[in-house]
Amino acid sequence: MQISARNYNSDPMETFERILVACGPDVANHVRPGTAAETAARMLWIEAGGNVDQFVRWLKRYLAGDQPEYILGWQLFDGVRYHADRRAYIAQDDSLAFLDRLVAEAQRLVVLRRRALRICEVGVGGGAFLCALSRRCAAAALPVLDWLGLDIDGAALNVAAINCEMAQLRVRLIESDILAELETDAAPDMIFAYPPWGNRFAPGDRFTGTEWELFHRALPQISCYVVGGETRVHEEILEQAHRRFPGSEVHIFNDYLPQSEIDRVLALHPNLMVEPCGPSMTAFAKRG
């Protein structure tokens, strides 16, 4: 694809439209107005700074399934830039309501326990969510004694270390399958998670055939897909927390779980509640 900046005038918006036309009908049809693809393409164009050749290279990568955050090396979450690369999941804005909820829960816990808290994220990934929570807790003057980030993927923890250092967050990052490697004498006051719920081995996986399929296949697979059913990780978190840290509160973002799965988990854990988390999502909650 031979496209040169000298073929276009200096209006960046008009240039963007004309480049898409010049790339051919396949590209223009995919990057339609109002779609996620258009948002991503405009983001790449802005970051290319008028360099058409650079933009076209990035656009080809995006259309092949690469994600803008991985292409650019950063992601924006809760208004802050964090390092991003293929080793770690890209935090999504649909979890911001969960962030709000956790701050409120931390405020309640500080009053209840009358001391600084120990807060643990299971599946910390690249650390953007944990950093955002720590920033909000600091803004609310909430005392936190210890931040813990657990993940089964050691490569993702290396990304989390970069982001936590940039955020000046003192945190213990532990490679662990759920809570298995966390010492029982370091019981968290709050355990929270935003677990994966896809199952690519199951017939009719809800990512298949949607615009989310390419997105999820571009991410670390263990952060998106689980073996054993959509709520397998949710259940393991609840089981391990109940067995090893019975005094800890547990909060799990349900994302897009079907009601039938939510009801099944509730039946297995009588002390569990489901509470609103944003306009259309919920979270499991087990209070200590």
Structure tokens at 187: 């019981």
- End-to-end Cα distance, the chain: 60
Q: Specify the range with the lowest mean pLDDT, choosing from 12-16, 60-64, 95-99.
A: 12-16
Contact criterion met (CB below 8 Å) for 249 and 226: no
Q: Which pTM does this prediction carry?
A: 0.90
% of the chain surpassing 70 pLDDT: 91
**Cβ contacts of residue 167 below 8 Å, gap of 6+?**
80, 82, 127, 131, 134, 135
Give residue-wise pLDDT tens across range 132-170.
999 999 999 999 999 999 999 999 999 999 999 999 999
Give residue-wise pLDDT tens across range 218-229.
889 888 888 788
Burial of 34 (0-12, 13-18, 19+ CB in 10 A): exposed
Give residue-wise pLDDT tens across range 241-266.
999 999 999 999 988 788 888 999 99
Handedness of CA 71, 74, 77, 81 (dihedral sign): negative
Length of the chain: 288
**Phi, psi (rounded to 5 degrees) for 5:** -60, -25
Q: What is the dihedral of CA 222, 227, 228, 231, to 10 degrees?
A: 20
DSSP code for 105: H
Q: Please count the other Cβ atoms lying within 10 Å of the Cβ belonging to residue 263.
A: 11
Give residue-wise pLDDT tens across range 176-233.
999 999 998 889 999 999 998 877 766 566 667 776 777 888 889 888 888 788 899 9
Contact criterion met (CB below 8 Å) for 187 and 118: yes
6 confidence band (pLDDT: 50, 70, 90): very low
Cα separation, 19 vs 28, in Å, equals 9
Q: Which helix (H) or strand (E) holds 45?
A: helix 36-48
